[in-house]
Amino acid sequence: MAARRDTDRTADDGSTRERLVDAAVAVLAEEGPAEMKVRRISDRAGSSTITVYHHFGNVGGLLDAVVVRGYATLTGTLEDAAASNDDPGVQLFAMALGARGFAQRNPHLYDLMFGLSPRGTYRASAPLVPQQYFREAYAVLVRSCHRLVTAGRVDIDDPEQIAAQLWSLVHGFVSLEAAGHFADHSDPVASVLAPMAVAQLVGIGDDRARATRGALDAYATWTATAVE
């Protein structure tokens, strides 16, 4: 044990910190939030338990770092969706598909990020810190909503208001799908998410044909990428 601690002391701090976050992400993905324990994570990282306390204060601090990692990944996913097409309607539906895909690949992480699962017996060490990173992901959505507004496609002139409605719509769909409520749908995106998103855009003033075409274009690109 002493030898391992000596190794920890001589390792680069950034490298050790990232290794612990990697280990925590892996334990969360494979075993769920109940196993997010200092001993379990430090063993996975090949470190001592004291290293967790040194870098994060406690396991709550480490969980905050996991949440930050999750939001960074989600932000990248949304940015890729925004870059996939010049049409803001296509961008927004591509973001919905990206967020859904992220949640499906990382169900425990998604739940932890949005407070849908407990952190075991641990409390967040700084509840407002993850909110900052949520805002970075959310800002990608707001920018595409701003493009929708400046293009004159909707009646609402506040992109933040549009983004809040769309985020709520997608988050609700993702959460219900994860809970198995759409298990009887052969394609929940086609039968639930797409029509709901189109109806939302039409409800704030977009043309139905254009909104539908944007959803179909994004869905076709997503399907082709999934097949590849």
Q: Is the pLDDT of residue 148 over 90?
A: yes
Average pLDDT over residues 19-26: 96
Q: Are 27 and 20 in contact (CB under 8 A)?
A: no
Q: Is the pLDDT of residue 184 over 60?
A: yes
Domain map (residue ranges) of the chain: 1-57, 68-227
Mean pLDDT of the chain: 88
Average pLDDT over residues 18-46: 93
CATH of 68-227, one of 2.40.50.140, 1.10.357.10, 2.40.30.10, 3.60.15.10: 1.10.357.10
Categorize the per-residue pLDDT at 224 as very low, low, confident or very high, splitting at 50, 70 and 90: confident
pLDDT at 102 over 60: yes
Q: Model confidence at 60, in pLDDT bands (50, 70, 90)?
A: confident
Tens digit of each residue's pLDDT (9 = 90 or more) over 70-81: 999 999 999 999
How sure is the predictor about 130, in pLDDT bands with cuts at 50, 70 and 90?
low
Q: Which of 3.40.190.10, 1.10.10.60, 2.40.50.180, 3.90.650.10 would CATH assign to domain 1-57?
A: 1.10.10.60
Q: What is the pLDDT of residues 92-101, one digit of tens each?
A: 999 999 999 9
- What's the DSSP call for residue 110? H
- pLDDT for res 115: 81
Instruction: Check residue 12 and give its pLDDT.
Output: 59
pTM (predicted TM-score) = 0.86
Contact 178, 108 (CB under 8 A): no
In terms of C-beta distances under 8 Å and separation of at least 24 residues, what long-range contacts does 143-148 make, across chains too?
Answer: 143/82, 144/82, 144/88, 144/91, 144/92, 144/95, 145/88, 145/92, 147/88, 147/91, 148/88, 148/89, 148/92, 148/206
